[in-house]
Structure 1
Amino acid sequence: MSPTLLGRVTGPQELKELRPEELPALAGEIREFLIDKVCAAGGHLGPNLGVVELTIALHRVFDSPADRIVFDTGHQSYVHKILTGRQSAFSTLRAAGGLAGYPQREESPHDLVENSHASTALSYADGLATAGRLLGEEHRRVVAVIGDGALTGGMAWEAMNNLGRAGRPVVVVLNDNGRSYDPTVGAVAGHLAALRGGRLRGPNLFETLGFAYLGPVDGHDIAAVELACRLAAGLDQPVVVHCVTEKGRGYAPAENDKADRMHGIGVIDPGTGRPRAGSSRGWTGAFGEELERIAAGRPDVVALTAAMRQPVGLHGFSRRFPDRVLDVGIAEQHAVTSAAGLAMGGLHPVVCLYATFLNRAVDQIMMDVALHGLPVTFVLDRAGVTGPDGPSHHGMWDLALLGAVPRMRVASPRDTVRLAELLGEALDTPDGPTALRFPKGGAGPEIPALTRMEGLDILHRTRSRPLDVLLVSTGVLAAPALHAAELLAEAGIGVTVVDPRWVLPVNPALAHLASRHRLALSVEDGVRAGGVGSALAQLCSDARVRTPVHALGLPREFLSHGERPAILAEHGLTAQSIAESVLALHDAEPTAHTPAAPLIRERTPR
């Protein structure tokens, strides 16, 4: 690749020094760079290919970081990172200790907001503009870059309502590509389509709210975007610059992908756009297949998605039952309360979300669903540690949050056989909400139970030894818990491994089981504070069971990006670490044989 353009741009100032006629070639080099680096590392390819010219124009018109540029969502910030001096770091994209896949404040002063949940940028911008006025820094301009998909979220319109009323000079750059993951839905999408087609007569919605409106502008014409942004910057009022772009621009596999599989990718062959290696059957696909099977005999079952029909496994369901899938846009709060209405109307709604996005609708789960005892099932994909997307996308808070919700029951399947079983039980629950959580990626082999006792699956029981330790595993951590039990058996420690299946509220039978052991440990891929271990300890305390209870899980911290196995290992959630924790905690009696931790030998997990 020629260094004459991209290699010369080490920051926004060098970008401003390029001649206008050089910019199309620069855009081409950036696209080649993105395709090469993102196909090799995985990440958000389609959104960034679509904002190349738009981002070039922004950094030529505005003076970051003195001017504040906020991206909503931050997955469209790769070009921004390239233009602000981080080209050399792209070989480490989303790797542990490397370049983050979203804006990150510690990476650069140009990254103001670590924004990765949609529909928030306008509220940040409102606050920044207000602060600038109060502090006498009104010369520092505020720019919010927001996609049309994010305008389906209610928080965006709360901010628009306030920005338009206050008249603060925020520049809203609307990146309109007609999609989030799936095509943008609702009346807003129709209004934008009318604006794009020149079919609207009279004031548009933005003007009615108090914004000036510039557009529609060809978002791939750098000169046109620059001109619109310079005009917007000169207006002393809030203004919308409506840029029309094409997601995946310049990369044929992305341009031709109507299912938008190029939005976020794993490692792929850049020539074909196909994965370089096969993968095992995934949790998402297994869920989708089972929901479709159940729905064939249950006309009351309907599914809701927040603009993520494909990523949450509903593509097959939506083809077979198109009238029974409701895409509400990026509006998790509305999805949950709408589901409450569906349940009141006699249906059993299944709300399909990434676990991290559950955080956005906790009030609605509490007050609109649980308070009314409604049969709504929440399916939480990518629960626990997700890996490369980093702190905002780890689904590690769901157990702690849902554990506080009265009437809520939470299941965590250890394999896809249990997923089908527990989904069926959830959909058969008539008198309150249920949740089913599973991790990102491929599902492992079936882990059969030795026996079932009062709803608990006993997975392992050491025979002819004292009942030293009870390991309570959550979901897929059953596999390392079982391997830890084998390691501990070699050390002379008797272990029972139990999978509660329904992990919250804690099954009272666990207190009885804990009372028969000298030590109990929960193993969970959520935060320890308020998780399964905390609930088990409270249950044992209430039942006057004196067995000490300890929780192995994640700290109450924001965990950085990296590979899921490495993050789990760092926080003691491997078989070896679990066994070593048991040894460290085991209160050996004089007759107990407790060798030192180094005597535990690592073996191939089950």
Structure 2
Amino acid sequence: MADLLKKINSPGDLRKLPKDQLKPLAAELRKFIIDIVAAKEGHLGASLGVVELTIALHYAFNTPQDLLVWDVGHQAYGHKILTGRQDIFDTNRRLNGISGFPKRQESIYDTFGTGHSSTSISAALGMAIASRLKGEVYKQHIAVIGDASIASGMAFEGLNHAGVSKANLLVVLNDNAIGIDPSVGALKQYLTKARVGHKPAQDNIIEALNFKYYGPVDGHDLKALLEVFDELKAIEGPKFLHVITTKGKGLKKAEEDQVKYHAPGKFEPDTGELLNYDTEGLPLKYQDVFGLTLVELAKRNEKIIGITPAMPTGSSLKYMMQAFPERAFDVGIAEQHAVTLSAGMATQGFTVFCAVYSTFLQRAYDQLIHDVALQDLPVVFCIDRAGLVGEDGATHHGLYDIPYLRCIPNMMIAAPSNEIQLRNLLFTAQLQLKHPLAIRYPRGRGVAAEWELPFQQMEIGKGNCLRKGSEIAVLSIGKMTENVSEAISKISEEGKIGHYDMIFIKPLDKLLLQEIFSEYKKILTVEDGAMAGGFGSAVLEYASAKKYKGEIMRLGVPDEFIEHGTVKELQEIAGISVENIRSVLNSML
């Protein structure tokens, strides 16, 4: 029977179908996801891999009364489509459209917002304990978590508590042996044994944590899934179901290249062939400048180590892992461990480059302070995806690294405005670094086609004067330097505007600032991060200390969460677009 999916506006509609229609429904749902993502882009492989699991969960359990939490949310597209968002799914990740991740404000079926990994068990356990306190003993609480996410420390913390809680909690392990990159670590080896049929009864780590263990079950066998869910509903206490799935299931190329098809961009829906864009002559991505430069430096310096928490492809540490596998480590989704591991290596004389997205470094804040900065260890944090990242939205923007790093003693912070500066900062960091250094750079392509120039040592805490002016000094960092330059070029009285690329947020170039204070009566700071406690705040603090009498205006991301859209759209909303900078400068003139 065709067009089954069109009749499904809620899980209630789904549960009216006879079981023999669920398999053709799965085929329709899979095709629907492929067709939309092929044209609109988004996360593909994870959602294709859980089509049958998604249908089985909503068919077997009484959602939304039974509470279902999806970990990370990359795999929740099918869930969104079956829970009333089919007609608007083409707005996924677009400005004012639905989010690419579960979001409580969006639907009663999205019980918990999940953009970062490994939170589902703790959240679902909290719901289960709350239900018991309210006397809702009939409710089911389900956490769906991947094999990469369950290796995170937070997931273990949740399992450890749940095992002694007697809570009515079901943890469903979606085991496809891959996160964004292949899963790593001892737990992955353990799960692999279970996948191939070993029965590790004496060393079943899940049963040791007081969970009743079931599986492995074929995650693409609807009949088997429904049978085991019916059995599990009747069992009280913490339960664990091990489900085996294939990431990218149903699209041959997505199954064959699971890393690339995690979020492949646009492609031909029938074949999976990627739509190639001509990148000839375009600048390289910042992440690749980082990765390739690190390899170049590692060839010269055998003390260089590279570490990333589960992002070898996303951060481009993959190049060093290929060239120097004994000196480059993917530690899995374990940001806290990555930071303290880096600190441990730094105590032994190694220069450690820890590559991590800005939004994920938030998860290791205590380690930044206690294990690195307090001991003044020379770890280099290569902070990718700093600033607004676009369609991934509020969970993934790198807006808070400047405020949360700036207040830490011993921590230095730099924001290169182009790839050449990034390259030279990396070179400088491995020479004679005395303190921890954070280098933040944006998602996407740089600005210079010719970036692979001879290394030059940079002076820590030194900015650049890009142009002199007579009335207004614009102080910019990082990506915003390009926006400011373009904005100034569109102003008729551009000779009145000076522009300074500060590069360092901490330490600030105080000599340059004193020169600016003496020459200009108006100052504008521009940053692609949270204004509260950010770069502009640092300039204001120093200006106050020096009793600067002029006017200081700040542009940056306001004190509110910015949702999803293109980077250009979000810069408009935040007030840091080229046009808004131009408008502010004209008003100051």
**TM, length-normalised to structure 1:** 0.92
**CA distance in 1 between partners of 2:565 and 2:432 (Å):** 37
Counterpart AA for 1:176: D
Contact 1:343 1:349 (C-alpha < 8 Å) held by counterparts:
yes
1:209-224, aligned counterparts within 5 Å? 209-224=209-224
The equivalent residue for 1:201 is 201
Residue of structure 2 aligned with 1:385, choices 383, 388, 409: 388
Q: Residue 265 in 1 paired to residue 264 in 2?
A: yes
**CA distance in 1 between partners of 2:252 and 2:278 (Å):** 22
How far residue 493 of structure 1 moved from its aligned partner, in angstroms, is 6.1
Q: Residue 100 in 1 paired to residue 107 in 2?
A: no
- Check 1:546–1:510 CA distance in 2 against 1; reply closer, same or farther (3 A cut): farther
Q: Which 4+ residue blocks in structure 1 deviate beyond 6 angstroms? A: none
Residue of structure 1 aligned with 2:464, choices 457, 460, 474: 457
Counterpart AA for 1:244: I
Aligned partner of residue 383 in structure 2, secondary structure? strand
**CA distance in 2 between partners of 1:31 and 1:291 (Å):** 40
**CA distance in 1 between partners of 2:320 and 2:187 (Å):** 26
Post-superposition CA distance 1:428-466 (Å, at most 9, x none): 342211111111111123799xxx99822111223xxxx
Residue of structure 2 aligned with 1:321, choices 321, 324, 338: 324
**CA distance in 2 between partners of 1:158 and 1:372 (Å):** 27
Counterpart AA for 1:178: A
Residue of structure 2 aligned with 1:514, choices 498, 513, 516: 516
The equivalent residue for 1:602 is none
Residue of structure 2 aligned with 1:504, choices 503, 506, 520: 506
1:52-131, aligned counterparts within 5 Å? 52-131=51-130
Choose 544-553 or 304-313, whichever is displaced more: 544-553
**CA distance in 1 between partners of 2:417 and 2:449 (Å):** 8
How far residue 409 of structure 1 moved from its aligned partner, in angstroms, is 1.2
Aligned partner of residue 262 in structure 2, secondary structure? coil
**CA distance in 2 between partners of 1:576 and 1:34 (Å):** 36
Contact 2:265 2:274 (C-alpha < 8 Å) held by counterparts:
no
Q: Residue 255 in 1 paired to residue 262 in 2?
A: no
Counterpart AA for 1:25: P
The equivalent residue for 1:482 is 485
The equivalent residue for 1:231 is 231
Post-superposition CA distance 1:134-178 (Å, at most 9, x none): 111122211000011001110001110100011111010110111
Contact 1:403 1:505 (C-alpha < 8 Å) held by counterparts:
no
Q: Residue 423 in 1 paired to residue 426 in 2?
A: yes
**CA distance in 1 between partners of 2:49 and 2:142 (Å):** 18
Contact 1:9 1:83 (C-alpha < 8 Å) held by counterparts:
yes
Gaps of at least 5 residues in structure 2 are 452-457
Name the Cα RMSD after superposition: 1.8
Counterpart AA for 2:507: P
The equivalent residue for 2:135 is 136
**CA distance in 2 between partners of 1:441 and 1:375 (Å):** 27
**CA distance in 1 between partners of 2:511 and 2:318 (Å):** 39
**CA distance in 1 between partners of 2:560 and 2:55 (Å):** 35
- Check 1:429–1:69 CA distance in 2 against 1; reply closer, same or farther (3 A cut): farther
Post-superposition CA distance 1:468-517 (Å, at most 9, x none): 111111112112211232344x2376111111122223221243133121
Contact 1:417 1:446 (C-alpha < 8 Å) held by counterparts:
no
Post-superposition CA distance 1:13-69 (Å, at most 9, x none): 111122222211111111111111111111110000100000100001111111110
Counterpart AA for 2:194: L
Q: Residue 294 in 1 paired to residue 297 in 2?
A: yes
The equivalent residue for 1:566 is 569
- Check 1:378–1:492 CA distance in 2 against 1; reply closer, same or farther (3 A cut): closer
**CA distance in 2 between partners of 1:344 and 1:326 (Å):** 17
Q: How many residues align?
A: 576
**TM, length-normalised to structure 2:** 0.95
**CA distance in 1 between partners of 2:400 and 2:497 (Å):** 28
Counterpart AA for 2:365: V
How far residue 269 of structure 1 moved from its aligned partner, in angstroms, is 3.1
- Check 1:205–1:507 CA distance in 2 against 1; reply closer, same or farther (3 A cut): same
Query: Between the two proteins, what is the percent identity of the paired residues?
Result: 37
Choose 529-538 or 99-108, whichever is displaced more: 99-108
Aligned partner of residue 444 in structure 2, secondary structure? coil
How far residue 4 of structure 1 moved from its aligned partner, in angstroms, is 2.8
1:525-564, aligned counterparts within 5 Å? 525-564=528-567
**CA distance in 2 between partners of 1:96 and 1:248 (Å):** 26
Post-superposition CA distance 1:215-234 (Å, at most 9, x none): 01001001111111221221
**CA distance in 2 between partners of 1:551 and 1:398 (Å):** 18
Aligned partner of residue 243 in structure 2, secondary structure? strand
Contact 1:269 1:276 (C-alpha < 8 Å) held by counterparts:
no
Aligned partner of residue 163 in structure 2, secondary structure? helix
Post-superposition CA distance 1:364-397 (Å, at most 9, x none): 0111001111111111111100010110011111
Choose 548-557 or 289-298, whichever is displaced more: 548-557
How far residue 576 of structure 1 moved from its aligned partner, in angstroms, is 2.6
How far residue 295 of structure 1 moved from its aligned partner, in angstroms, is 0.8
- Check 1:581–1:232 CA distance in 2 against 1; reply closer, same or farther (3 A cut): same
How far residue 245 of structure 1 moved from its aligned partner, in angstroms, is 0.5
The equivalent residue for 2:6 is 7
Counterpart AA for 2:104: R
Aligned partner of residue 475 in structure 1, secondary structure? coil
**CA distance in 1 between partners of 2:449 and 2:25 (Å):** 51
Post-superposition CA distance 1:509-530 (Å, at most 9, x none): 2431331210111110001001
Counterpart AA for 1:395: G
Q: Residue 491 in 1 paired to residue 490 in 2?
A: no
Contact 2:475 2:500 (C-alpha < 8 Å) held by counterparts:
yes
**CA distance in 2 between partners of 1:118 and 1:244 (Å):** 19
The equivalent residue for 2:26 is 27
Aligned partner of residue 481 in structure 1, secondary structure? helix
1:265-284, aligned counterparts within 5 Å? 265-270=264-269, 271-279=271-279, 280=282, 281-284=284-287
Q: Residue 50 in 1 paired to residue 49 in 2?
A: yes
The equivalent residue for 1:242 is 242
**CA distance in 1 between partners of 2:490 and 2:449 (Å):** 21
Aligned partner of residue 145 in structure 2, secondary structure? strand
The equivalent residue for 1:598 is none
The equivalent residue for 1:590 is none
Contact 1:375 1:434 (C-alpha < 8 Å) held by counterparts:
yes
**CA distance in 2 between partners of 1:306 and 1:296 (Å):** 23
Post-superposition CA distance 1:300-347 (Å, at most 9, x none): 111111111111112221111111111111000010001000101111
